[in-house]
Amino acid sequence: MNLQKLYTSTLTLQRNEYLKAANTTDTNIYFVESGSLRIFILDGSEEQVIRFGYPDNIIVALDSFFLEKPSEFYIQALKKTIVKVIPKSVFYEFVEQSEENKKVFIKMLEDLILQQMEREKDILTSSPKERYNRVLARSPRLFQEIPNKHIANYLRMSAETLSRLKKS
């Protein structure tokens, strides 16, 4: 699907800059042109990474996008990042234009649901080695785009454990 005609603006984020802070509403869809981002939530004082975005990925605060309400999720640039912005209204206008566009939207939703199910399986897998192997098999590019400390957080393990697993 070619989303380029839907972009209304481009944002450049510096390293560690927030695209979205907790308790804010964000109904945009972002296409990552360059750089990388993480979506995380605070659990007490601990950050818990739930998703990453890097070039050619779409990233969105799904709960805020659909409900149009504030979300507890943060979206933060891990390095200088450029994203293209598609507002919800523009995207939904596109979806309503044809049956083909509706099918594209349904396919996107199916992909997101399946990705979320894989993430839930990752979280439920007790062995750090199995979690690492599952994510490596599914998303090898992640290990090239994202710093190890954030991958370790995503995998619910220490950076040292991740380092050992990568060496073995």
pLDDT at 2 over 80: no
Token pair in block for residue 45: 């004082």
Confidence grade of residue 3 (pLDDT, cut at 50, 70, 90): confident
pLDDT of residue 168: 87
H or E segment and range at residue 87: strand 81-87
pLDDT of residue 17: 98
Token pair in block for residue 96: 């309503």
pLDDT of residue 1: 59
Confidence grade of residue 4 (pLDDT, cut at 50, 70, 90): confident
pLDDT digits (tens, 9 = 90+) for 57-73: 999 999 999 999 999 99
CB 145 within 8 A of CB 52: yes
Q: What's the mean pLDDT in 80-96?
A: 97
pLDDT at 86 over 80: yes
Give percent above pLDDT 90 in the chain.
90
Q: What's the mean pLDDT in 158-168?
A: 93
Q: What's the mean pLDDT in 112-119?
A: 91
CB 53 within 8 A of CB 59: yes
| Torsion 95-99-101-104 (CA) sign | positive
More confident residue, 23 or 2: 23
Give percent above pLDDT 70 in the chain.
99
Which residue do the tokens 């199910």 mark?
A: 117
Domains, the chain, ordered by start: 4-97 (2.60.120.10)
pLDDT at 110 over 80: yes
